[in-house]
Structure 1
Amino acid sequence: MGFLDRKVKDLYQYTPELTAPEDLDSFWNRTLEQAGQVTVPAKRQLISTPMRGVQAYQVTYQGYADTPVNGSFLVPSLWNEERFPCVIQLHGYTGSSLLPEHYAPWLLAGIAVFAIDIRGQAGGTGDLLPQETGMAKGWITKGIDDKDTCYYKAISVDCLRAIDWVAEQPEVDTARIGVAGGSQGGGLAMLMSALSDKLAFAIADIPNMCHMDWGIFNSTGSLTEAADYVSRFPDKWEAVTKTLSYFDNMNLAHRIRIPILVSVSLKDTVCMPETVFAAYNRITSEKQLHIYPFRGHSTGDKHLRKILEFTLAQCDTGKDNS
């Protein structure tokens, strides 16, 4: 057996000890109850796009801590259907939702898209989350001393409310709602698949937010901000790692009950394969994994077809059951 085969075999057997706190379930049950609303306060306005056969809307809805979250809702009206499947798109760390034209492949496949700007980052969403202490550069150490004040809770609730908003739209088939993203977006997509009861499928590409106690020592990505924070405040180590444990997909993977596609790149130093497999190996629902042995923090252009094929297969199943 060669090196690559041994590496992959070992990764499939990698199940590090969980770091879940005793009140993990009660925390999320309480958070979900608080986040849930019959109607999400929002407004949407028609905007122009050079794409033909697409209705594009600028959407602003109420996120966590009364923060207005912005996004684009795109409907492939060229298909002339009454209701469409819809995928909520979550971008990578420091990124944005990009222009509507970026989602043309999804729209041409007959899938509506709701792409949101994660709070505080490079898109159109600000951040009204209160801040009582200092933080390292970036966003993830904001309020990181406590699970109820941290940035991860805020963006998690923002994403849950995005799902709720999509489920309220008359153009959307509520039996065919999915969530997709890469890196930070992949981590949030996996988290949403564990928490929301309104999703039919999920796509978590090279996901972050997995095995974070290990990642804080090894990742070259956003967790370097947490490492910087605890290097300045060593007495905060236990508080920081406990906070992260509530949002660690490794600890929540057992809650996933929907089909999920995951990708991993074996030379990735941001979302390292050990972290991805630590979560993936604990998923018990229908799942598929695409491994890219020689890529870094990316999957390559050909992966898009695999995503679309997976999505359409799930949408066909959902349509049969709706």
Structure 2
Amino acid sequence: MDITEEKTAGFRQYKPDLTRQPDFESFWYQAMEEVFPAIGSQSWRVNVESEKLDRFEVSYDLVLEKYPFPLKQVIIYQAQIEAADGTLLKGWYLLPSTASPENRVPGLVRFHGYSSNKGKISELLLWALQGYAVLAMDIRGQCGDTPDGRSYSAGAFSGWLTLGLDSPMEYYYRQVYLDSVQIIESLARRPEINEAKIGLFGNSQGGGIAIAAAALLEKSSQRNPQITGKIAAINAGIPFLADMKRAYLDHGDGPWAELSWYFRMHDPLHEKEKEIFQTLSYFDLINFAPWLHCPVLISVGLKDTACPPSTIYALYRHLAGEKTIIAYPDYGHEDIDNHTDKHIAFFAERLLNTK
């Protein structure tokens, strides 16, 4: 037995029970109706000032402003779209100059890591120069140009992981997941995009969001014919937000330390521990994984102390479709350079038809 096999032997057998609450499915069906209201009806959002419900039409139309850049092969835009709660999400949209309604290209959505942002043009050119259209948007409230327009009934510790923990309806990642499905749909409806060839990717938080959003779209498309995007492939690098209680128990650093501080400041005896993890269960990737059937490539660093390897294997075990996990024994929670070539080949085979 080699070192990698020895290190992963226990992880490969680890498949914890799902932690879905009885209303998990109905909770997300109701939430998705905010982004995909029934045909002929309007969606709604809470008007913070009047505390009344405002009816409105959900938009899937990206507002694009051309951004000057000295490359002829790629057209670059600053992108913006209004989220279901009225927050303006901002990012980049890179388009191969040959793309058109007559020459539709595969589309990629890149989700960024925790406390990061939409990224630099240079990061996205890697994909646009291969022939993909690439959409990369800020996650609300983090370190980009996009605010978080929601109000919360209490504060949080440091970042976003403990924001809105009082209830699943209020929890921060509820709106983040809904933003993400709207972003994917906005790309799929572009006239220059082949909506049957959409790929999602990201590291850490970005990989986790990609999994959750794709699962929500696949499950909801069974009931809602308005959903047009077809997720053909996902690369989830060192994904965050999986097997949350185990992640909290085993973490050594990273965002899960925020929950430790939250307990210290708000619940030092863990008297509300059960309720807190019930709230988190609505957002735990292992509970979404059985809904997802598209091909998924996952990377894991076996020295990762922010997203413990056991939690990533738990996600992998619960995925319902074609799946591959690649373990890197000497990497922690970091961008794994050697994985990029495998990521490129994985997407090319499924989205560019390079076989």
Same-fold call, TM > 0.5? yes
Q: Kindly indicate whether residue 147 of structure 2 is the aligned counterpart of residue 115 of structure 1.
A: no
Which is further off, 223-232 or 162-171?
223-232
Q: What letter is aligned with 2:325?
A: L
Structure 1 segment 300-319 matched on structure 2, within 5 A: 300-316=336-352
Contact 2:202 2:236 in 1 (8 A): yes
Q: Kindly indicate whether residue 278 of structure 2 is the aligned counterpart of residue 242 of structure 1.
A: yes
Q: What letter is aligned with 1:24?
A: F
Correspondence for 1:214: 246
Correspondence for 1:232: 265
**Unaligned regions of 5+ residues in structure 1, if any?**
none
Contact 2:200 2:235 in 1 (8 A): yes
Correspondence for 1:294: 330
Q: Report the Cα distance in structure 1 between the residues aligned to 2:69 and 2:278, rounded to whole angstroms.
A: 45
Q: Report the Cα distance in structure 1 between the residues aligned to 2:64 and 2:34, rounded to whole angstroms.
A: 24
Q: Report the Cα distance in structure 2 between the residues aligned to 1:22 and 1:131, rounded to whole angstroms.
A: 25
Q: Report the Cα distance in structure 1 between the residues aligned to 2:298 and 2:316, rounded to whole angstroms.
A: 8
Correspondence for 1:179: 200
Q: For 1:50, which of 62, 67, 70 is the aligned residue?
A: 70
Q: What letter is aligned with 2:242?
A: C
SS in 1 for 2:177: helix
Q: Report the Cα distance in structure 2 between the residues aligned to 1:189 and 1:114, rounded to whole angstroms.
A: 13
SS in 2 for 1:264: strand
Q: Report the Cα distance in structure 1 between the residues aligned to 2:59 and 2:115, rounded to whole angstroms.
A: 29
RMSD: 1.9
Q: For 1:157, which of 165, 168, 178 is the aligned residue?
A: 178
Q: What letter is aligned with 1:95?
A: S
Contact 2:15 2:317 in 1 (8 A): yes
Q: Report the Cα distance in structure 2 between the residues aligned to 1:56 and 1:22, rounded to whole angstroms.
A: 45
Q: What letter is aligned with 2:29?
A: N
Count, aligned residues: 319
Q: Kindly indicate whether residue 309 of structure 2 is the aligned counterpart of residue 273 of structure 1.
A: yes
User: Shift in Å at residue 40 of structure 1?
Assistant: 2.2
SS in 2 for 1:284: coil
Correspondence for 1:94: 115
Q: What letter is aligned with 1:206?
A: I
Contact 1:258 1:286 in 2 (8 A): yes
User: Shift in Å at residue 301 of structure 1?
Assistant: 1.8
Contact 1:265 1:299 in 2 (8 A): no
User: Shift in Å at residue 24 of structure 1?
Assistant: 0.9
SS in 2 for 1:69: strand
Contact 2:99 2:105 in 1 (8 A): no
Correspondence for 2:145: 124
SS in 1 for 2:272: helix
User: Shift in Å at residue 6 of structure 1?
Assistant: 2.8
Q: Report the Cα distance in structure 1 between the residues aligned to 2:282 and 2:73, rounded to whole angstroms.
A: 42
Contact 1:263 1:299 in 2 (8 A): no
User: Shift in Å at residue 110 of structure 1?
Assistant: 0.8
Q: Cα deviations across residues 98-134 of structure 1 (Å, max 9, x unaligned)?
A: 2222112111211110001111111111011111112
Which is further off, 29-38 or 76-85?
76-85
Correspondence for 2:46: none
Residues 299, 60 of structure 1: alpha-carbon distance in 2 compared, 3 angstrom cutoff: closer
Q: Percent of aligned positions with the same letter in both sequences?
A: 34
Q: Report the Cα distance in structure 2 between the residues aligned to 1:154 and 1:79, rounded to whole angstroms.
A: 32
**Unaligned regions of 5+ residues in structure 2, if any?**
38-57, 219-228
Q: Kindly indicate whether residue 79 of structure 2 is the aligned counterpart of residue 59 of structure 1.
A: yes
Structure with higher helix content: 1
Q: Cα deviations across residues 187-240 of structure 1 (Å, max 9, x unaligned)?
A: 111112211132222111000010101112222111221221122222432222
Contact 2:73 2:129 in 1 (8 A): no
TM-score (norm 1): 0.93
Contact 1:64 1:155 in 2 (8 A): no
Q: Report the Cα distance in structure 2 between the residues aligned to 1:22 and 1:79, rounded to whole angstroms.
A: 45
Q: Cα deviations across residues 261-301 of structure 1 (Å, max 9, x unaligned)?
A: 11101001111101100110111201111110111112532
Which is further off, 65-74 or 217-226?
217-226
Residues 252, 6 of structure 1: alpha-carbon distance in 2 compared, 3 angstrom cutoff: same
Q: Considering only CA atoms, is the larger Rg found in Structure 1 or Structure 2?
A: 2
Q: Kindly indicate whether residue 159 of structure 2 is the aligned counterpart of residue 145 of structure 1.
A: no
